[in-house]
Amino acid sequence: MRITFGNISSAAMIVLAAVCLQAQQSAAAGLDTSQRDDAAWPAYPDMPFTIAIDPRQPPMTGRGGIIVHDLTGDGRMDYILSTRDNDFGPGRAAISAYDWGGHLLWIADDVDIQMNGNAERHGLPGWQGPGVAAGDIDGDGAADVLNLDTANRVVVRDGKTGDVKRTLGPFALPEGARQWSHLQIVDLRGAGDRDLILQADPYPFRWLKAIRADTGADLWAVDGYEGPKHGGFRAADIDGDGRDEVAGATIIDHDGRRMNTWDYDRPAAHFDALAVADVRPDDPGLEVVLLEEQTWEDDPSIFRERRRDDRTSLVSQRRIHWSAGYKGWEPQNAAVGKFEEGREGLQIWNRSRFNKNQQPWVLDQDGDVIARWSMADVAPEGWSERGIEMISSIDWFGGPTQHLAAKERHESGAIAVIDPMTGRFVAWWPEQADTVYVADVAGDGREEIIVVNGAAGEIRVYQNEAINPHPPKPSPWTQNAYRRQKQNYNYYSP
């Protein structure tokens, strides 16, 4: 797909401005741009750009995922891939890292890494959860790559070489917990990304533990967190104080104290997914989107009463804004973004659980339905009747609105960019995508689709090849919530 312009010089000036702005924003986000070749940063030379996965890497079977981070210090995003054989239990695992240009930096083969596929049955981080994190946790100016092992320790590796620098722990488990199984790098003390939050199995994953990343010393612990039931907690700077909070039906402040002044009206609710975004500009800070499925496990009579009362809720630290159902359908997945220009706030796209012919709907910032469509009416010929999955909002064009990026559901399949308001497939490509990840890796402020194709043994980067005709805007990597989201996701909450 290409866009042509009558005035090439104007378009070139926009691209040049975008490159200059990107350099300033990368520095603001803590990325070293001193060694970067700016001429190579805005775009990859091929479409898709392919990275050969080291053959020692186990296949992507649902256990493991991919993240990006600047590991080499050149200001570009590099790739970290983690996989483990089988969906749960024993299995060979590996972590490999590749630089922006596709060269293998290192592979840690046959490593002990804690990760599971089906979170409800076997533990965190859940389907497609990467189980790794990256950041400069000790302030030495170099990136580290972290994972939990099955001995309840945090393993810290040199991001550039993969060598183990140290291990933290093992950490004692709270009563009732089975395994520390999920972690995220956070800033709890205002000192930068120098802290970690751990989460323990089993379901409903109510145990959290915050520690210093340099020493492993305890900061606080929580027993009673209510969050996603198909994956781990999410963290971001919700109140804008420069420190991170934990999002959910309970919101935990940076110091471990409960932050929300309200109680969710359904104790032990089953949340399929969670998102953090500034949905309502009229409410200071960020909001939390909760996708609720009614379950039978606590009280079958309640399930029978509410089984057609699945709903999407929007909450903040101060209030429950609303809960909105649509035909009683389960909103199993959601994407949050600016999907309609001129409408106040952000919009929430919801995907129905239907096994065939999905029926998505879109809510505005007030919980009102503003769009709906049927997959059978919009999918290209040959697209799976099971619909789409691994759905993320994506800034594909660089303009005022966002789209969806997704893959074919329940198979290693094709990928697409979709208009969330109408369902129109703006672009799609035949693929054998095992997983899909969206991030800005080409450096012009737009986002790319990153695919893991196990059959070909490749990571593939799909980018919009057209010159960006829009004025440059801030890189998403300057946003705290974006950086946190892109390292802490899974199938249900991309």
Please, which pLDDT band fits residue 308 given cuts at 50, 70 and 90? low
Pair 403, 394: CB distance under 8 Å: yes
The reply to whether 73 and 21 lie within a common domain is no
The reply to whether 212 and 344 lie within a common domain is no
SS3 225: coil
Please, which pLDDT band fits residue 127 given cuts at 50, 70 and 90? very high
Q: Would you say residue 9 has pLDDT above 70? A: no
Q: Would you say residue 428 has pLDDT above 80? A: yes
The reply to whether 362 and 489 lie within a common domain is yes
Asked if residue 184 is part of any domain, the answer here is yes
Asked if residue 234 is part of any domain, the answer here is no
pLDDT at 295: 61
Please, which pLDDT band fits residue 3 given cuts at 50, 70 and 90? very low
The reply to whether 339 and 379 lie within a common domain is yes
The reply to whether 75 and 53 lie within a common domain is no
Asked if residue 294 is part of any domain, the answer here is no
Cα gap 460→453, rounded to integer Å: 7
Asked if residue 393 is part of any domain, the answer here is yes
SS3 219: strand
Asked if residue 214 is part of any domain, the answer here is yes
Number of compact structural domains in the chain = 2
pLDDT at 325: 94
HSE toward the beta carbon, residue 290, CA cutoff 13 A: 29
Cα gap 195→154, rounded to integer Å: 12
* CA dist 66 → 18, 105, 146, 157, 487 (Å): 27, 15, 13, 16, 9
The reply to whether 370 and 482 lie within a common domain is yes
Residue 442: domain span: 1-60+332-494
Q: Would you say residue 8 has pLDDT above 50? A: no
Look at 7-16, 18-27, 389-398 and tell me which has the smallest mean pLDDT.
7-16
Domain boundary, last residue among 197, 224, 251: 224
The reply to whether 357 and 434 lie within a common domain is yes
Contacts of residue 94, Cβ cutoff 8 Å, sequence gap at least 6? 54, 56, 57, 58, 82, 83, 84, 107, 108, 109, 110, 111
The reply to whether 7 and 95 lie within a common domain is no
Q: Which two tokens stand for residue 436?
A: 């899909």
Tell me the torsion sign for CA atoms 65, 71, 74, 75. Answer: positive
Asked if residue 241 is part of any domain, the answer here is no
pLDDT at 28: 40
In single-letter form, the type of residue at position 107 comes to I
Asked if residue 291 is part of any domain, the answer here is no
Q: Would you say residue 39 has pLDDT above 90? A: no
Q: Tens digits of per-residue pLDDT, 151-183? A: 999 999 999 999 999 999 999 999 999 999 999
Kindly give the residue spans of alpha helices, DSSP state H, lying in 313-461.
375-378
Q: Which two tokens stand for residue 422?
A: 């109408």
Please, which pLDDT band fits residue 87 given cuts at 50, 70 and 90? confident
pTM: 0.91
The reply to whether 52 and 70 lie within a common domain is no
Q: DSSP letter string over 88-131?
A: SSS--EEEEEE-TTS-EEEEEES------S-HHHH-TT-TT---
Q: Which two tokens stand for residue 230?
A: 């198909």
Q: Which two tokens stand for residue 110?
A: 């046959």
Domain boundary, last residue among 203, 224, 245: 224
The reply to whether 172 and 188 lie within a common domain is yes
**Ranges 302-306, 389-393, 471-475, most confident:** 389-393
Q: Tens digits of per-residue pLDDT, 263-278? A: 998 877 899 999 999 9
Domain boundary, last residue among 193, 224, 255: 224
Contacts of residue 211, Cβ cutoff 8 Å, sequence gap at least 6? 168, 171, 195, 196, 197, 198, 217, 218, 219
pLDDT at 405: 99
Q: Tens digits of per-residue pLDDT, 352-392? A: 888 899 999 999 999 999 999 999 999 999 999 999 999 99
CATH number of the CATH domain containing 163: 2.130.10.10
Cα gap 494→488, rounded to integer Å: 8
Q: Would you say residue 115 has pLDDT above 70? A: yes
The chain-wide mean pLDDT, for the chain, equals: 90
pLDDT at 344: 98
SS (H, E, C) 253-317: CCCCCECCCCCCCCCCCEEEEEEEECCCCCCCCCEEEEEEECCCCCCHHHHHHHCCCCEEEEECC
pLDDT at 42: 59
Neighbours of 33 (CB within 10 A): 18
The reply to whether 346 and 448 lie within a common domain is yes
Asked if residue 206 is part of any domain, the answer here is yes
Cα gap 111→132, rounded to integer Å: 12
The reply to whether 17 and 116 lie within a common domain is no
